[in-house]
Chains A and B, each alone.
Chain A
Amino acid sequence: MAVTGDGVIVVGAGPAGIRAAERLVAAGIRPTVVEESARDGGQIYRRQPEGFRRPPEALYGADSAKARALHEAAQALHPRVDWRPGTLVWAIRDGTLLVNRAGQHEALPFRHLILATGATDRIMPLPGWTLPGVTSLGGAQIALKAQGCVIGREPVFLGTGPLLYLVAWQYLKAGVAVRGVLDTSAFAKRVLAAPWLAARPGLLARGLAYTAALRRAGVRIATNITPLEVEGEDRVAALRWRDAAGVEHRAACDGIGMGYGLRPETQLADLAGCAFAFDGGARLWLPVTDGDGRSSVPCVYLAGDGAQIRGADAAELAGRLAACAALRDSGRAVDELEMATLRRRLAGMTRFRRGLERAFPYPAHLAADLPDETLVCRCEAITAGALRQAGGEYGAAEVNRAKAFSRTGMGRCQGRMCGPAAAEVLAAARGIPMAQAGRLRGAAPVKPLPLATEAAP
């Protein structure tokens, strides 16, 4: 089997992957770039489907210049890389990626691998959250960006984090009557986090501007809230919540966008054998990297939100830095100044991220109070009660054992959605720290693999 594209493979064509590939190309390498979606751009700079012609300003707002720059960079790379869109990496085996493109299997051996797999929304279950009309914040944003659709005419946005305000504002700007922005984090946390957030004054100012614009438009913004229940017969009709003073409210709505920050897509790093460590700030198990993106496995590098959530600008820098590290490790000269500059700029972004974690903490405390009947694992319809029974009566001391007993995380998404929340429920039920509840081990396929897959001729 010939090693493709010089044996360097980049997985993911978002900001991190594109900048990594670009840096490799600049060094005279022809990397293979594997991307599950049909087009490049990744999550934040997701492109509309071919044929749609809305201008970048309408799609990406204040980030349109960055979006345009990234898309142009990607376009310029196409002839200079082995570009494989619409291709899912579903397993890693002995230095080889197993990929599936429209039902055709192929094995891609690599010498160096850069994983830039991005992130997904982080959820916290809530009674009624599986009713039609409840979407992730990211899903709500993608609907708007990629298809120009909205999740409701009168939606409520629930959760925490900068994306909460951003998406609400994007909906407002699209002419939607936003019925409320409900944040589980206390405003006071934002004030306390200010010294960290000040690391990126521009972004901080932008966040404040979204909030101000929402307020000006008369949108109700409440902080330090407790979500109670999504009401509705066969689709969402209202959200019940409690304010900081303990007063209950009911917000009628026809859609809910819900998200509590992001969680990295780390399955491929797991399958590659990378070591993980618990990150107390994020309350997540994350793959271990040195500052430059080297994982614990030689020749496997991690960049962007797939390694740690630092946002799109950091992803671009981290992609480039990981490529530099890979180049250096393969014996090519890389200017130390280039790497030092990238590291310095990333340090500020890491500080900002720590600020975000303080300002908008994941509402882990809600896990303890989830009613027993609430579904935690949506795919397999497993309730918080069943999970608690696995941890209690059946003695499961960590989340893989709880999965074996209760099926939590055994469905279509393989715990990518519910895994961290399930660990919180288990930790709360057993009264153990979250780190001790562990993380669901990854297994192939990373995403569902059609049985009709055929070996390429």
Chain B
Amino acid sequence: MTQADVIIVGGGLMGTASAFFLRQRGLSVILLERDLVGSHASGTNFGNVRRQGRFLPQLPLANRSRAIWGDLPGIIGEDSEFLPSGHLRIAFREEDEARLVAHAAAAREWGLDLDLITGNALRDRFPYLSPSARMASHSPLDGHANPRLAAPAFARAARRAGAVLHEGAAVLGIVKSAEDFVVETAIGAFRAPLLQISAGAWGGRIAAAFGEPVPITPAAPQMGVTEPMPYRIAPVMGIATTVKEEGVYLRQVKRGNIVFGGGARSEASLDTRRARLDPLNTLAQLPHLARLLPPIRALSIIRTWSGVEGYMADDIPVMGPSGKVTGLFYAFGFCGHGFQLGPGVGATMAELIATGHAGIPIEPFHISRFAQGPPG
């Protein structure tokens, strides 16, 4: 098959979930992935399924996504190790505490309930936390999942539902004819009247080719994992801070290992498609990890890694229809927080493409926010 209702460029979580939900809505789909599905940001990320701390107008999308995460076995037949373990943001300073309080109040308006926990209650509920922690903002229904499994699981489900997925199919050029987009790839040409660009950090290049340049920068968040210790830390946790270097986070998986990340990012290259893990960043993470979770100091790190992620200048993604080309849709540049959103993005893009309505407000993410005004 070289022709379909919709062509999706990019087989990360955004592309694979969109393919699956488009099939649910009865559209035929061809997905084109240059490497392997889920092998870039979607397969290398930290695995945080976190809503708190987000840009608030993104919460409808995050809430929609959270509902799907909770029902993955029913929807795609496997759970990708999603664990609604709760999520903690921990403040160590008075000003960070104040920000947690303000965020909790505002998030409630958007349908996200957060518990603010301090003092003895904090130590009773989470005895392993640092004694110097002042306050935790607890989001009981957030959690974590296994990034290595999620996008491939959506890809399998999409295939079972009849989508055509090609790996090793780098998109080399796209032309819009009267009716169709003609997509040239390393394995031949494909055509469809509708096109979704979910090419992650590479999305900006394709948008620019359609005359819609955006300020996007690739970067490499720094990850690591420790040897296992007995499983006892359910919630994902991170330091709530405005100081970049301090902003580390961690989660314990059921096998006992503690996965961590955060702090300064390193460089990523769109051309080599490699993200650099700078071991000096790993060293810089250590004191902050130990501050967040003192028992971690007894462990050893066994592996570090990174992935290529696209960051927009305003730290929110590009999502929605093109501002210039009919039939063209974007979902890329998820700024380090797209894993949680992935299933929701898929459902929303499918609804938008199939019906013309997203079902939830996504206007803040429209690509035209970067458009230059008309000359003169």
A residues with CB within 8 A of B: 90-91, 93, 98, 105, 107, 380, 394, 401, 404-405, 410-412, 414, 443-445, 448-453, 455
Contact B36 A93 (CB under 8 A): no
Asked whether A414 and B280 contact (CB < 8 A) given A405-B148, A453-B286, the answer is no
A104 to chain B, nearest CB (A): 11
Asked whether A451 and B300 contact (CB < 8 A) given A405-B152, A443-B305, the answer is yes
B residues with CB within 8 A of A: 36, 39, 43, 148-149, 152, 156, 225-227, 255, 277-280, 282-283, 286, 289-290, 296-305
Contact A412 B302 (CB under 8 A): yes
Kindly count the residue-residue contacts between A and B in the assembled complex, taking CB atoms under 8 Å apart: 70
Contact B227 A93 (CB under 8 A): no
Contact A414 B303 (CB under 8 A): yes
CB < 8 Å neighbour of B226 from A90, A107, A451, A453: A451
Query: Can you report 30 A-B residue pairs in the complex whose CB atoms are below 8 A from each other?
Result: A90-B279, A93-B278, A98-B283, A107-B280, A380-B255, A404-B43, A405-B149, A405-B152, A410-B303, A411-B227, A414-B303, A443-B277, A443-B304, A443-B305, A444-B282, A445-B279, A445-B302, A448-B227, A448-B301, A448-B302, A449-B282, A449-B301, A450-B301, A451-B286, A451-B290, A451-B298, A451-B299, A451-B301, A452-B290, A453-B283
Contact A394 B297 (CB under 8 A): no
Instruction: Name the B residues within 8 Å of A444 (CB-CB).
Output: 277, 279, 282, 304
Contact B227 A412 (CB under 8 A): yes
Instruction: Name the A residues within 8 Å of B303 (CB-CB).
Output: 410, 414, 443, 445
Instruction: Name the B residues within 8 Å of A98 (CB-CB).
Output: 279-280, 283
Instruction: Name the B residues within 8 Å of A91 (CB-CB).
Output: 279
In the complex, A90→B286 CA distance in Å? 15
CB closest chain-B residue, reference A455: B283
A406 to chain B, nearest CB (A): 9
In the complex, A273→B305 CA distance in Å? 16
Contact B302 A451 (CB under 8 A): no
Instruction: Name the A residues within 8 Å of B304 (CB-CB).
Output: 443-445
CB closest chain-B residue, reference A441: B305
Instruction: Name the A residues within 8 Å of B226 (CB-CB).
Output: 451
Contact A451 B289 (CB under 8 A): yes
Instruction: Name the B residues within 8 Å of A107 (CB-CB).
Output: 280
* 8 interchain residue pairs of minimum CB distance: A448-B300, A91-B279, A404-B148, A449-B301, A444-B279, A452-B297, A450-B300, A448-B302
Instruction: Name the A residues within 8 Å of B277 (CB-CB).
Output: 443-444
Instruction: Name the B residues within 8 Å of A380 (CB-CB).
Output: 255
Asked whether A93 and B302 contact (CB < 8 A) given A404-B43, A451-B296, A452-B297, the answer is no
In the complex, A150→B299 CA distance in Å? 30
Instruction: Name the A residues within 8 Å of B255 (CB-CB).
Output: 380
B255 to chain A, nearest CB (A): 7
CB closest chain-A residue, reference B44: A404
CB closest chain-A residue, reference B260: A451
A432 to chain B, nearest CB (A): 16
Contact A93 B290 (CB under 8 A): no
